[in-house]
Amino acid sequence: MRLALFGHGGMGSLVEARAKDAGHHIAVVFTDRDAARPPEEIARALEGADVAVDFSVGAAVADHVTACVKAGVPLVEGTTGWQAQFAELRGVVERGKGAVVYGANFSIGVNLFYRVVAVAAAQYAHDSSYAPFVEEAHHARKKDAPSGTALKLRDIVSGANAGRAVPVASTRAGHIPGTHRVGFDGPADQIMLTHTARSREGFAAGALLAAQWIAGGRRSGVFEFAEVLDDILASAGGAAR
């Protein structure tokens, strides 16, 4: 694949390294120095790319989505902090017959963790004496709080509890790659489910998996990474049989 990268911080640099290790080519890299470039200009610079991967900042996502749609380049959107624009940008993608995979977290482990939490939340919803809550911790440089992953976990738990409010607590300190906890606190005991990232390697691996899935122009629309993972796992299961 020929990849375009939006953002060249910790995640962007890691995606670049892992892509090269896998034999892919980096066609173009956009950094904060390109922030003032209009979508039309970015679209021209995307020519020749098979897919773009975005780990930049939330404020830039609208321009990046617009540019990719104009260029006919599928986009893997790993940036958080843009969800308020989701409906608007979905419209941009669908009208332009573009393709976007987005996710609060591209770690395969986290996406499987979502499923574990959904099952647990459904069980504890049967006993209203258990109060659900979410805690998350990330490195001091992470700007958005709560994290997109924490908000996704909150929505999963709330959905299983008939819309019950679920508090979310955030910590920003040091160099923490990412820790998410979902708890159910009762009068006699507490249950805690925890996902701890040891590094950002899992996020890069998931983003490249999504890039391979959406590249090639075979798909159009907006897909959540959880859907992509479902499709990949189902295909792998079919192949194994």
Residues with active-site annotation: 138, 142
Cβ neighbors of 145 (< 8 A, separation 6 or more) are 138, 170, 172
Identify any residues that bridge with 100 across adjacent strands, giving them in sequence order. Answer: 75, 222
Q: Of 119, 113, 74, 133, which Cα lies nearest the Cα of 202? A: 113
Roughly what angle, to the nearest 10 degrees, separates helices 201-214 and 108-124? 100
Show the tokens assigned to 196.
Answer: 């701890």
Q: Say how far apart CA 201 and CA 14 lie, in whole Å.
A: 7
Q: Is 6 left (phi over 0), alpha (psi -120 to 50) or beta?
A: beta
Cβ neighbors of 195 (< 8 A, separation 6 or more) are 109, 110, 113, 179, 180, 181
CB 154 within 8 A of CB 163: no
Q: Which helix (H) or strand (E) holds 235?
A: helix 225-240
